[in-house]
Amino acid sequence: MIGGAPAAEARISLLPTGSGGLRDALPTGTRSLMLAFHSLEAGGEDVMIGAVIDVVGGSALHPGAEQIAVILRFWADEASVYATPGTRFTLWYGRAVGEGVITRVADEVVGEGS
């Protein structure tokens, strides 16, 4: 948790514009993308969870970029149930525009070097 809200580190990749990805880059700190996690219930619909996406190093999220290290600061407490290391998710902007995988939870990220 960071500031009382669930947070995690992830690696994300964005589809190129020509393959249905974003038309323009999004700045670090964007709240424009939703994360779709597979339901924990058999046959259930994906669970959409919002997050602030901070790019490690502060660059923008460009269409077609791959394996971008990000910190996800989730809006909902339920994210702590879904955002566990190794969990894959889809980045959603009215359609699928990329994918990612959770690499570490915030306690592990924040705890390093402290």
Which tens digits make up the pLDDT trace of 39-83? 888 888 999 999 999 999 989 999 999 999 999 999 888 999 999
Burial of 89 (0-12, 13-18, 19+ CB in 10 A): buried
Compute CA 4 distance to the chain's CA centroid, rounded to the nearest angstrom.
18
Homologous superfamily of the 7-102 domain (CATH):
Translation factors (2.40.30.10)
Q: What are phi and psi of 99, to 5 degrees?
A: -150, 165
Domain boundaries, the chain: 7-102
What's the pTM? 0.87
* Mean pLDDT score of the chain: 89
The percent of residues in the chain predicted with pLDDT above 70, rounded, is 89
CB 65 within 8 A of CB 21: no
Indicate the helix (H) or strand (E) that contains 110: helix 106-111
